Amino acid sequence: MRYEAGIAGGGGQGIVLMGTILAEAVASDENLYVAQTQSYDPAVRGGRAEAGLVISDEEIDYPEALELNLMVALNQAGYERNAGKLKRNALVVVDNDLVNHIVWHKILRIPFTAMARDKFKDERVANMIAMGALTNLCEYLDSSAVEKSISSRFKGEVLDLNLPAFREGVDYGAKVRGSGFDSVEEEDIEI
Query: Bridge-partner residues for 5, per DSSP?
Result: 53, 70
Q: What is the pLDDT of residue 55?
A: 95
How many domains, in total, are found in the chain? 1
Q: What is the pLDDT of residue 43?
A: 63
Domain at 128, CATH number: 3.40.920.10
Of all residues in the chain, the percent with pLDDT exceeding 70 is: 90
Query: Bridge-partner residues for 182, per DSSP?
Result: 107
What does the DSSP 8-state code read for residue 139? T
Instruction: Report the distance separating Cα 133 and Cα 190, nearest Å.
Output: 26
CB atoms within 10 A of CB 63: 12
Mean pLDDT for 61-77 is: 92
CB atoms within 10 A of CB 112: 31
pTM summary value:
0.85
Q: How many residues does the chain have?
A: 191
pLDDT in tens, 143-188: 999 999 999 999 999 999 999 999 999 999 888 876 655 543 333 3
pLDDT for 116 beyond 80:
yes
Instruction: For residue 122, name the pLDDT band (cuts at 50, 70, 90).
Output: very high
Distances (CA, A) of 186 to 90, 103, 191: 13, 10, 11
Q: What is the pLDDT of residue 180?
A: 56
Segments forming the whole domain that contains residue 39: 2-188
Instruction: For residue 136, name the pLDDT band (cuts at 50, 70, 90).
Output: confident
Instruction: For residue 103, name the pLDDT band (cuts at 50, 70, 90).
Output: confident
Mean pLDDT for 24-34 is: 91
pLDDT for 190 beyond 50:
no
Q: What is the mean pLDDT of the chain?
A: 87
Q: Across the beta sheet with 68-73, what order do the strands follow?
A: 33-40, 48-56, 2-10, 68-73, 86-95, 107-110
Of all residues in the chain, the percent with pLDDT exceeding 90 is: 63
Q: What is the pLDDT of residue 160?
A: 93
